[in-house]
Amino acid sequence: MPNSEDRTIFAKRVRNDLRVIALCLRSCPGDVKAVAVESTFTCYWSVDGLNDAGFHVRLVNTAAVRQY
């Protein structure tokens, strides 16, 4: 997770389990404003689950992230 100076302040590799992912996001320092998920054919289970867990989720094209 980058800060306002685009420096990573939190990084962790977790297994592909929605409960684990949500717990990890809740443990991040500060307040998580949004979660970016790569827009792929199979991403919707995570988007729906994170939305249900109360996170604001945004789909992103990872090839264009730096442009935004």
DSSP 12-35: ----S-HHHHHHHHHTSSS----E
In this prediction, residue 56 carries a pLDDT of: 94
Tell me the pLDDT tens digit for each residue of 7-33. Answer: 777 778 889 899 999 999 998 888 888
Angle at 2 between CA 29 and CA 5, to 5 degrees: 110
Across 48-58, average pLDDT: 94
Query: Each residue of 18-38: b (16+ CB within 10 Å) or e?
Result: eeebbeebeeeeeeeeebebe
Q: Which residue has the higher pLDDT, 67 or 17?
A: 17
pTM summary value: 0.73
In this prediction, residue 1 carries a pLDDT of: 56
In this prediction, residue 22 carries a pLDDT of: 93
